[in-house]
């Protein structure tokens, strides 16, 4: 490979959420142990260096020595448009693109813009828990369309329940997460079309979180909802470089809104949001110069996921884990051990000293016994983490 994804980079002292705030995590009850030997694999950012062109763009920006108010130049929009045309055969017009400082910020803006306090927002648990936080934090109500889990650990949407939920007049917005976090599922085109049809029929707007859409397994395919749906006037699509190129700290989300009325309403609620010069230059470099890096990264992630699944099958066969079709996330079912969730958590977080994320964060009702792990770290680190965990579940 041209790029060394096995390189271990010491992130301590950089302000990293996953490496530098152990005391805060303990105070929050996230874990009882965090020390110099802890391996944190809970946050969805990579312990892998960003592509060199992005680093070079950051240096060029820093060398300008003035970091004033900035707006995205035409080259920014061209980079975004060309990427999605080239990679996903999805044509986007410049006027449809709204810059937003982060995907959670975009979701929260949509909730405030298109719903009223007390109204419902549909999500599909288990799902990324900041959705719940933003719904409830803004005085709205979670309307859960529970995903269906089969015996092989494979999730699929419950379309019958979804229509029952969408037809309730108080449920005004649906947050779609595709590829799905934490299960790693990519929704089929058939399911996407049906979800979109149901929402259009019942006047439910869709916020499609597709920020993992470029991190796809070699034998899988991702198609944006806006390409599949019969119409796009009820769809807001969140795209970003943050997961693909490990730039979450730069807060660069592009929300694609084809309907001008929805776009105007979203912008009015969003207010004055401008990218930093570092942010917009990173986006341009990522989309214009880093495609080869992404292709090698995907091969590397495939190899890591294959290693983990083979390790689990040999060393921890009671753990069920569906091979994710997208993302670098693995959703693991420990219920086969017939242990209390707190005991599972103690063995992993305290005894093995590996920090994951509890399933109840993603699904308060049905997530007990599950754990989410982010595998976007150098493979030696991943191997050590799983060897530690396995040692605590020997019988």
CATH number assigned to the domain comprising residue 370: 3.90.1150.10
pLDDT for 29 equals: 92
Q: Looking at the domain assignment, is residue 7 inside a domain?
A: no
Q: What is the pLDDT of residues 115-163, one digit of tens each?
A: 999 999 999 999 999 999 999 999 999 999 999 999 878 899 999 999 9
pLDDT for 1 equals: 87
At residue 236, does pLDDT exceed 80?
A: yes
Please state, for a pLDDT cut of 90, what percent of the chain lies above it.
98
Q: Which of 267, 289, 311 is the last residue of a domain?
A: 289
Residues 30 and 97 in one domain: no
What domain range includes position 205? 67-289
pLDDT for 394 equals: 87
Please tell me the distance from the alpha carbon of residue 247 to that of residue 278, in angstroms, as a whole number.
11
The pLDDT confidence band at residue 271, using thresholds 50, 70 and 90, is very high
Distances from the Cα of 139 to the Cα of 76, 115, 257, angstroms: 35, 10, 24
At residue 278, does pLDDT exceed 90?
A: yes
At residue 346, does pLDDT exceed 90?
A: yes
Mean pLDDT of 185-190: 97
Q: Looking at the domain assignment, is residue 10 inside a domain?
A: no
Residues 88 and 76 in one domain: yes
pLDDT for 151 equals: 82
pLDDT for 153 equals: 80
Residues 121 and 250 in one domain: yes
pLDDT for 78 equals: 98
Residues 276 and 140 in one domain: yes
Please state, for a pLDDT cut of 70, what percent of the chain lies above it.
100
Q: Looking at the domain assignment, is residue 9 inside a domain?
A: no
Q: Which of 289, 313, 331 is the last residue of a domain?
A: 289
Identify the CATH number of the domain in which residue 207 sits.
3.40.640.10
Q: Looking at the domain assignment, is residue 2 inside a domain?
A: no
Residues 232 and 174 in one domain: yes
pLDDT for 360 equals: 97
pLDDT for 163 equals: 98
Please tell me the distance from the alpha carbon of residue 83 to that of residue 284, in angstroms, as a whole number.
10
Q: Looking at the domain assignment, is residue 123 inside a domain?
A: yes
Distances from the Cα of 113 to the Cα of 54, 171, 207, 268, angstroms: 33, 14, 12, 8
Residues 199 and 324 in one domain: no
Residues 280 and 296 in one domain: no
Mean pLDDT of 40-52: 97
**Strands 171-177, 120-123: parallel, antiparallel or unpaired by DSSP?**
parallel
Q: Which of 240, 260, 289 is the last residue of a domain?
A: 289
Mean pLDDT of 180-197: 98
Q: Looking at the domain assignment, is residue 232 inside a domain?
A: yes
Residues 283 and 386 in one domain: no
Residues 118 and 263 in one domain: yes
Q: Looking at the domain assignment, is residue 12 inside a domain?
A: no
The mean of the pLDDT values for the chain is 97
Q: What is the pLDDT of residues 247-260, one digit of tens each?
A: 999 999 999 999 99
What string of H, E and C letters represents the secondary structure of the chain? CCCCCCCCCCCCCCCCHHHHCHHHHHHCCCCCCCCCCCEECCCCCCCCCCCHHHHHHHHHHHHCCCCCCCCCCHHHHHHHHHHHHHHHCCCCCHHHEEEECCHHHHHHHHHHHHCCCCCEEEECCCCCCHHHHHHHHCCCEEEECCCEECCCCCEECCHHHHHHHHCCCCEEEEEEECCCCCCCCCCCHHHHHHHHHHHHHCCCEEEEECCCCCCECCCCCCCCHHHHCCCCCCEEEEEECCCCCCCHHHCCEEEEECCHHHHHHHHHHHCCCCCCHHHHHHHHHHHHHCHHHHHHHHHHHHHHHHHHHHHHHHHCCCCEECCCCECCEEEEECHHHCCCHHHHHHHHHHHCCEECEEHHHHCCCCCCCEEEEECCCCHHHHHHHHHHHHHCCCC
Q: How many domains does the chain have?
A: 2
Residues 181 and 211 in one domain: yes
Q: What is the pLDDT of residues 322-334, one digit of tens each?
A: 999 999 999 999 9
Q: What is the pLDDT of residues 82-105, one digit of tens each?
A: 999 999 999 999 999 999 999 999
Mean pLDDT of 47-74: 97
Residues 197 and 342 in one domain: no
The sign of the CA dihedral 249, 243, 106, 257 is positive
Mean pLDDT of 228-251: 97
pLDDT for 395 equals: 67
Q: Looking at the domain assignment, is residue 3 inside a domain?
A: no
Residues 261 and 312 in one domain: no
Please tell me the distance from the alpha carbon of residue 141 to that of residue 90, in angstroms, as a whole number.
33
């Amino acid at each position: 490979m041209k790029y060394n994804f096995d390189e271990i980079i010491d992130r301590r002292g950089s302000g990293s959420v996953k490496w530098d705030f152990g005391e805060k995590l303990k105070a929050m009850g996230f874990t009882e142990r965090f020390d110099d030997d802890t391996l944190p694999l809970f946050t969805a950012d990579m312990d892998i260096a960003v592509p060199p062109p992005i680093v070079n763009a950051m240096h060029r920006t820093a060398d300008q020595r003035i970091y004033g108010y900035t707006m995205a130049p035409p080259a920014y929009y061209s980079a975004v448009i060309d990427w999605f045309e080239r990679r996903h055969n999805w044509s986007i017009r410049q006027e449809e693109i709204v810059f937003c400082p982060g995907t959670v910020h975009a979701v929260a803006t949509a909730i405030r813009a298109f719903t009223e306090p007390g109204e419902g927002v549909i999500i599909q648990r288990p799902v990324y828990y900041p959705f719940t936080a933003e719904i409830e934090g803004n005085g709205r109500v979670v309307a859960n369309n529970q995903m269906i889990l089969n015996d092989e650990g494979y999730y699929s949407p419950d379309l019958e329940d979804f229509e029952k939920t969408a037809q309730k007049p108080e449920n005004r917005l649906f947050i779609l997460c595709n590829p799905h976090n934490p299960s790693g599922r990519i929704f089929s085109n058939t399911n996407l079309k049906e979800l979109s049809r149901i929402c259009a029929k019942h006047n439910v707007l869709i916020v499609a979180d597709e920020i993992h859409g470029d991190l796809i397994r070699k034998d899988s395919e991702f198609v944006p909802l806006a390409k599949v749906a019969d119409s796009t006037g009820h769809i807001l699509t969140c795209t970003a470089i943050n997961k693909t190129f490990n730039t979450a700290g730069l807060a660069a989300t592009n929300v694609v809104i084809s309907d001008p009325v929805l776009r105007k309403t979203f912008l009015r609620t969003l207010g004055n949001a401008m990218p930093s010069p570092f942010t917009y230059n990173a986006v341009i470099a990522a989309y214009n110069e880093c495609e080869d890096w992404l292709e090698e990264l995907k091969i590397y992630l495939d190899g890591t996921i294959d290693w983990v699944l083979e390790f689990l099958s040999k060393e921890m066969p009671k753990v069920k884990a569906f091979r994710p079709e997208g993302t670098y996330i693995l959703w693991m079912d420990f219920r086969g051990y017939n242990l209390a969730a707190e005991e599972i958590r103690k063995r992993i977080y305290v005894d093995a000293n590996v920090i994951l994320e509890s399933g109840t964060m993603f699904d308060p009702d049905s997530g007990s016994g599950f754990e989410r792990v982010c595998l976007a770290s150098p493979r030696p680190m991943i191997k050590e983490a799983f060897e530690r965990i396995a040692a605590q579940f020997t019988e």
